Copies of this chain bind each other. A is one copy, B any other.
Amino acid sequence: MLVHDMILRKLQLHSDLGETEIAALRALPATERALVVHEDVVRQGDKPNVSAVVLEGMLGRYHTVASGRRQYLSFHIPGDMPDSQAMFIDVMDHALCAMSAARIALVPHASLRTLFKQCPPAGFAVWRETLVDAAIFRAAITNNSACAPRARLAHFFCEQYYRARAGGHAKQGACALPLTQIQLGETLGISLPSVSRALQQLRQTRAIEFERGRLEVRDWARLAAIGEFDPTYLHLSKVKRL
């Protein structure tokens, strides 16, 4: 089944898996599900007993603050497990939704826990996955707290493109990024006009092109410089650097 290939390929970007682990991971049960744009997979306060694996499209995690404003936390592409944390933390402190039409596979927590008990190295690989997740959150804290709008946007584009590329989802210097400028603002903690202005500055430097949910990186070195991007935190050392 496709799901298992996706999980394995993703884990093998940072973990060495033996025959035993691969076989055990392949035995995981999974059910597929299609999502329409904006559809929530889980909401704040839910206690899911399955975790999702992205097969197609893009998913996003977000908080909702009292004012009603959303704060997006991270975005997930095919191969990612956006709510793997729910295996060991019962109640969701954030929500997960589809940023575009998407397909996911759902894996029961019980199966995962059994797998990890019987085959700890497989668990370590998924654990590592959740730790990289945390590293991405840390980078977001710094980006949103210590950088100017243009740098925030540049850093965000770098990260998304780098991750898409590592997963094999970038073609000819471009990748899918189905976000509106409002959503970019709700990710980076800046207003819509600021996003618009920062975008135009980046376009003017010929570093990127961004339209209709597609990001094209034209000058990686310049973009990385503007965004002060260092991919170390993504821990994809097995992937060829840009």
Report A's interface with B, CB cutoff 8 A. Answer: 45, 61, 63, 65-67, 69, 71, 73, 85, 88-91, 93-94, 113, 116-117, 120-121, 123-124, 127-128, 130-135, 137-142, 144-147, 188-189, 228, 232-233, 235, 237
**A144–B147 contact, CB under 8 A?**
no
Contact partner, A131, options B66, B85, B188, B235, Cβ 8 Å: B85
Closest-by-CB residue of B relative to A124 is B88
CA distance A85 to B138 in the complex (A): 13
> Given A141-B73, A147-B65, are A128 and B93 also a contact pair (CB < 8 Å)?
no
**CB–CB B65/A228 < 8 A:** yes
Q: How many copies does the complex hold?
A: 2
A66, A94, A145 — most chain B CB neighbours (10 Å): A145
In the assembled complex, which residues on chain B have CB atoms less than 8 Å from the CB atom of A128? 88-89
Q: Whole-angstrom distance between the alpha carbons of A45 and B145 in the complex?
A: 22
B residues less than 8 Å from A91 (CB atoms) = 232, 235, 237
Q: How far is the CA of A131 from the CA of B137 in the complex (A)?
A: 12
Interchain CA distance A116-B128 in the complex, whole Å: 14
B residues less than 8 Å from A90 (CB atoms): 235
CA distance A141 to B131 in the complex (A): 16
A144 touches B232 (CB 8 A): no
Indicate if the CB atoms of B120 and A130 lie closer than 8 Å: no
Q: Chain B's nearest CB lies how many Å from the CB of A195?
A: 13
A45 / chain B contacts, CB cutoff of 8 Å: 232
On whether the beta carbons of B94 and A138 are closer than 8 Å, the reply is yes
- Nearest Cβ distance between residue A144 and chain B, in whole angstroms? 4
20 other contacts beyond A88-B131, A91-B237, A93-B139, with CB at 8 A cut-off? A45-B232, A63-B141, A65-B147, A66-B228, A71-B146, A73-B142, A85-B135, A88-B127, A91-B235, A93-B232, A116-B123, A116-B124, A130-B131, A130-B134, A137-B140, A137-B141, A140-B141, A144-B189, A145-B188, A145-B189
The winner among A113, A121, A131, A138 for most chain B CB atoms within 10 A is A138
